[in-house]
Structure 1
Amino acid sequence: MSSAALPLVRIPVGIVVERCKAGSRWADFVWRAVAVLPDEPRTKPWTVLREEHGATLFYAGSATVDLYPSETARYRDNLASGNPSIWTVLSPAEGAWPYSVTAATADPAEGEAFTEAGGNLVEPVAIPEMLRGAIASFVAEHHVEREFFKRTRR
């Protein structure tokens, strides 16, 4: 997304992360985002939500899903896919916790772009119904079908 463009809508979300024991001698744990909460909870980041069967769920922190009118075709395609998702991005961090919440996006291309930084953990997770409705409304209001122009060689 261009830094000059400002989002028309910013939707706060919370990111839930799972930590499981790794079955490897090279890593102690495997981390992955497992859910997006449809609002920003009043919980401190890295609060334990549940522990069971060797896995621990944490509220990792918050992000915003930013919606831009220029990206409505991507949001529409995401919603129409068999598995509409929000791409969550965790980046390596220094300190008590190995990752920090960097971003959340409904744009599959933007989610894929975050994978270029090798240390990021990028996970698509299911869109909560409330968030799906907000994105669908945004698409309905702002989408403009653009005609495809095929370039011709000279």
Structure 2
Amino acid sequence: MRPATTSLPLGVVIRRTPGVTRWAAWHWRAVGVLPGAGPADWTEMRREGDAVEYHAATLPLELWRTDTEAYLTGLSAKVPSIGVVMRETPGREHPMEVTLVTASPYEAQDYLDSGEELVELVPMPEGLVALIRDFINEHHEEEVFVKRRRDRKRVDLVEDGKGDSRIRQTADVFRAPRKAKANIQ
């Protein structure tokens, strides 16, 4: 039996550059992923002037066989990308926490919709594209589209005897209750 999921550790590279406004001292952005990376906690990788790149975290990239349609959509983009979900953590040494990496553009969109997280799309390395493509080839099952048919029940027929007993004619619906009360007695 084939496993339902595959997991691969994926390191996330984040670049810190000086902010362009006086309200933001630094600008943080995910710029790369490292397939098969070991554990990391904001390890400095490279420094060019004021710009610094960190190996911020290593998280598992989980591929589920039920999400192969989403992975196909992601691979068919001009630049296949990994979604990196980050959350601001003010008051800490590093103001960004990497919470998730995903190959599903649908899941990345869901996190964008909440507005609480920052989602960056990072280009996939070729080896990762090949791994995801192999996973899709092994697990993808095309769903057959079935058009829904309407019921043949007639809705324009009169429903005699149903409803409120005080309503005898259409005009009774719009009458004030005290006038309708006189009609019932």
Q: Which range, TM-score by smaller chain?
A: 0.7 to 0.9
What is residue 23 of structure 2 aligned with on the other side? Answer: 26
> Rg larger in 1 or in 2?
2
Q: How has the CA–CA distance of structure 1 residues 29 and 87 changed in structure 2, closer, same or farther, with 3 Å as cutoff?
A: same
> What letter corresponds to residue 119 of structure 2 in structure 1?
V
Q: Distance in 2 between matches of 1:68 and 1:145?
A: 15
Identity across the alignment (%): 36
Structure 1 residue 71 displacement after superposition? 0.9
Q: How has the CA–CA distance of structure 1 residues 59 and 103 changed in structure 2, closer, same or farther, with 3 Å as cutoff?
A: same
Q: Distance in 1 between matches of 2:140 and 2:9?
A: 22
TM-score (norm 2): 0.74
2:9, 2:38 within 8 Å by CA — same for their partners in 1? Answer: no
What is residue 13 of structure 1 aligned with on the other side? Answer: 10
Q: How has the CA–CA distance of structure 1 residues 28 and 152 changed in structure 2, closer, same or farther, with 3 Å as cutoff?
A: farther
Which of residues 103, 106, 113 is equivalent to 1:106?
103
2:5, 2:63 within 8 Å by CA — same for their partners in 1? Answer: yes
What is residue 84 of structure 1 aligned with on the other side? Answer: 80
Structure 1 residue 80 displacement after superposition? 2.0
1:18, 1:56 within 8 Å by CA — same for their partners in 2? Answer: yes
Q: Distance in 1 between matches of 2:79 and 2:108?
A: 15
Deviations 1:35-75 (A, max 9, x none): 01011235x31111111143110110011111111111111
| Structure 2, gaps ≥5 residues long | 152-185
| Paired residues for 1:39-58 under 5 Å | 39-42=36-39, 44-58=40-54
What is residue 61 of structure 2 aligned with on the other side? Answer: 65
What is residue 3 of structure 1 aligned with on the other side? Answer: none
| Paired residues for 1:115-130 under 5 Å | 115-130=112-127
| Structure 1, gaps ≥5 residues long | 1-5
Higher relative contact order (CA 8 A, sep 6+): 1
Structure 1 residue 76 displacement after superposition? 1.3
Deviations 1:93-138 (A, max 9, x none): 2521111110000000101111134342211111112211111110
Q: Distance in 2 between matches of 1:83 and 1:58?
A: 23
What is residue 32 of structure 2 aligned with on the other side? Answer: 35
Residue 141 (structure 2) pairs with residue 144 (structure 1): yes
Pairwise CA RMSD: 1.8
Q: Distance in 2 between matches of 1:134 and 1:127?
A: 11
Aligned residues between the structures:
148
TM-score (norm 1): 0.88
Q: How has the CA–CA distance of structure 1 residues 7 and 110 changed in structure 2, closer, same or farther, with 3 Å as cutoff?
A: farther
SS at 2:145 equivalent: coil
